[in-house]
Structure 1
Amino acid sequence: MPKNARVTLCYGPYESSGVVKHRTFRLQGLQAALEARGHQYVLEETREWNMVELVVNGELVFSCNIQQLEFGGDGQLDPVCKEAVTAVDNAY
């Protein structure tokens, strides 16, 4: 990844306990994994339900359902977080 790359972490609302809204609890592991690899990111809310997308320099490099991510944690044991960080590492 280029040094001046900008990672945008786009996330949509999801349902929990009958309430649909934007939450970052499931993003904590992904955020920690990105920071551990030295990446800087910006959080951006989207209207797409249940969606997480990683955009590097305007190019979509990874997407998944937000409920596939583990709740909380540091992302080290979450295989989806590992896949996402690898996609960012390999982005140009």
Structure 2
Amino acid sequence: MPANARVTLCYGPSESSGVVKHRTFRLQGLQASLRARGHQCVLEETQDWNVVELVVSGEVVFSCHIKKLKFGGDGQLDPACKEAVAAVENAY
């Protein structure tokens, strides 16, 4: 995959303290990890609850439960972020 891939982060609403809505706090580390590797991130809200999907060239290359991602941070110590970045870089 070229270094400057466009990665769409599709994320659904999640429940916290009884309120269901789209939140990006758990996506911060993932976005930071992807940007550090030269990728462009685009956020897109979906209706699938608790799901995060990374789409490259129209294909889903990584998917996980949103709570698998660490809250905030730069993503360097988050194993799910490392797995997601590897999936993006191995995409065709």
TM-score, normalisation: structure 2: 0.96
* Residue in structure 1 matched with residue 18 of structure 2 by the alignment: 18
**SS across alignment from 1:76:** coil
* Residue in structure 1 matched with residue 60 of structure 2 by the alignment: 60
5+ residue gaps, structure 2, are: none
Identity rate, percent? 82
Letter in 1 for 2:30: L
* Residue in structure 1 matched with residue 73 of structure 2 by the alignment: 73
Q: In structure 1, what is the Cα distance between the partners aligned to 2:7 and 2:28?
A: 15
Q: In structure 2, what is the Cα distance between the partners aligned to 1:84 and 1:73?
A: 15
Letter in 2 for 1:84: A
Distance of aligned partners of 1:61 and 1:67 in 2 relative to their CA distance in 1, 3 Å threshold: same
Q: In structure 1, what is the Cα distance between the partners aligned to 2:5 and 2:54?
A: 12
CA RMSD of aligned residues (A): 1.0
TM-score, normalisation: structure 1: 0.96
Q: Are 1:34 and 2:38 matched, yes or no?
A: no
5+ residue gaps, structure 1, are: none
* Aligned residue-pair number: 92
* Residue in structure 2 matched with residue 90 of structure 1 by the alignment: 90
